[in-house]
Amino acid sequence: MAKEEEGGVENNYTKDGTVDLKGNPVLRSKRGGWRACSFIVVNGVFERMAYYGIASNLVLYLTKKLNEGTVQSANNVTNWVGTVWMAPILGAYVADALLGRYWTFVISGIIYLSGMSVLTLSVSQPTLKPPTCQDANTENCQKASTLQLAVFFGALYTLAIGIGGTKPNISTVGGDQFDNFDSKEKDQKLSFFNWWMFSNFFGSLFANTVLIYIQDNVGWSLGYGLPTLALLISITSILAGTPFYRHRVPSGSPFTKMTLVIVGAIRKWKVPIPTDPEELHELDLEDYARKGKFRIDSTPGLRFLNKAAVKTGSSDAWMLSSVTHVEETKQMLRMIPVLIATFVPSTMIAQINTLFVKQGTTLDRNIGSFKIPPASLSGFETITMLISIVLYDRFFVRIMQKWTNNPRGVTLLQRMGIGLIFHIIPMVIASLIEMYRLKSAKEFGLVENGGQIPLTIFILLPQFVLMGVADMFLEVAKLEFFYDQAPESMKSLGSSYASTSLGIGNFLSSFLLSTVSDLTSRNGHQGWILNNLNASHLDYYYAFFAILYFFNFIFFLVVLKFYVYKAEVSNSVEVLAE
């Protein structure tokens, strides 16, 4: 174990291969831990404030200011959000293969801020948006020009690219501040992702209440200007913590490594695999130690890929991979069925800022002289998540630890499974509430003209609260699972799996919304999803989701049965020192 004498005090270096920005080994007492993570947590608060300050109320800006219809505006939101959550794949690649997580974040943060700035400009200048229209039927309103749409959506998608480089890397940098080879720091990491998500939810809560109110009642210029300022603060926070971070050296493209293994195994598909794993190709411990990397022993799962490590006399990289590279590829592939099982729940999350918000616009939002912004109900989901995370971390985990002897209380997949069960419930509740809303619309004669129904907007509260509980289990566990189960050299790519889930879920939401709207409006039928929600049948649409969720949960149980958690890895530097 490497040590250093400073003033008679013996200081330990980290054992997980982390370094400073110049590539030098770091002392545990000087960098990392909760001190470094405090800057990251602050970033989480203000960055999510910025993002949700745009995303939560975007569907209303598209309908009220750009005069788009229900399906078009909802799909524009989910397509953009889908891009936001898919872009981290590119950000993870750049971080793992080229720049490292810190510099990828810094450069992406500048792109993110530029997109936010142009977006604020587009909602502030009258020439960059169509004239205000008071007609309830948006089809009668003047549409935005090509230039206006180009500036607005150009800024939105520039912003999405920036998020792609920041999102998978900042939480991963946070995880890197704790050394898995130190028992105390390993325990601290177990709580980091809970508190990281807590900071995210706290920022989104402010956005879903204060910022949305400002946008609806004061103006969109200030309503978008404040998120831009919040983003600036979030980037400044990360830069301020630079002297305290531990970093990982980029280890090459994970996609290239995986491709080399798969191609090598296919090219040698006729070659027999030796019964003794020691006969497979592997580098010496010294090679890994010199690069500060980890070596992984061969496992029996996904045995076909072991062919890539069979020695045939050729040292060509497309013919021969090390056992460690084979095992890293196996682990990324093992997680794909889990990733697929999270797509359907992510489509439900997409409804919160689209159809749920549109439902709110049809209900009574007055409390005395105060008018509740419909998008602000998502704040109750956030509040529920905040409370649930604290209760989970402080009570549930400790109670379950006594029964399971698992430091997490339950396994990550078990926690995700609980979340999937909870995700079915709000869909059933949402369908029943929508049936009641539509029944009331008929009773008050508000079906044809689409007027406001004299029911309080708080009838929608149960579906938001239950979504908060479900996401506390599923989303936190999902983020930690894909980080924890990814190989050490592919952590950013692993973290991008979590965002990919949300991205595909949003694109799936767009596909389902368009398809259902099209299929149900054929042959003279009115359709389930119309611009006039009082004449729609969102209750059928939500019931369809509940059924889809049930079958998805069955699929998850099959995945859970066959999933194999990754084996512990050996730190080559520590092994050699011993």
Dump pLDDT digits (tens) for 151-192: 999 999 999 999 988 987 888 888 888 887 777 887 777 778
Say how far apart CA 352 and CA 374 lie, in whole Å. 11
Q: Is residue 91 scored above 90 in pLDDT?
A: no
How far apart (Å, rounded) are the C-alpha atoms in residues 325 and 321?
6
pLDDT at 290: 64
In DSSP terms, 366 is beta-bridged to 371
Return the H-helix or E-strand segment holding 11: strand 9-12
- Alpha-carbon 148 to chain mean position: 30
pLDDT at position 9? 39
pLDDT tens-digit map of 498-528: 888 999 999 999 999 999 999 998 877 788 9
What's residue 19's pLDDT?
86
Hey, what amino acid is at 134?
Q
Q: What is the mean pLDDT of residues 323-338?
A: 93
Pick from 4-18, 89-103, 149-163 the range whose average pLDDT is largest: 149-163
HSE toward the beta carbon, residue 488, CA cutoff 13 A: 26
What is the pLDDT of the chain when averaged over all its residues? 87
Pick from 428, 422, 414: nearest CA to 556: 414
Of 62-66, 183-187, 478-482, 509-513, the poorest mean pLDDT is in: 183-187
435-459: average pLDDT: 91
The rounded percent of the chain whose pLDDT value lies above 90 is 45
Look-up of token digits 């099209």: 518
Whether residue 177 contacts residue 32, with contact meaning beta carbons closer than 8 Å, is answered with: yes
Tell me: the pLDDT tens digits for 235-251? Answer: 999 999 999 999 888 87
Which of 146, 94, 392, 456 lies closest to 252, judged by CA?
94
Q: Is 122 or 136 the better-scoring residue by pLDDT? A: 122
**What is the pLDDT averaged over residues 306-332?**
91
Instruction: Quote the pTM value.
Output: 0.80
What are the structure tokens assigned to 161, written together?
């690219």
Cα separation, 322 vs 429, whole angstroms:
52
pLDDT value at residue 457: 94
User: Residue 484: is its pLDDT beyond 80?
Assistant: yes
| Measured distance CA(365)–CA(383) in Å, rounded | 20
Percent of the chain with pLDDT over 70: 94
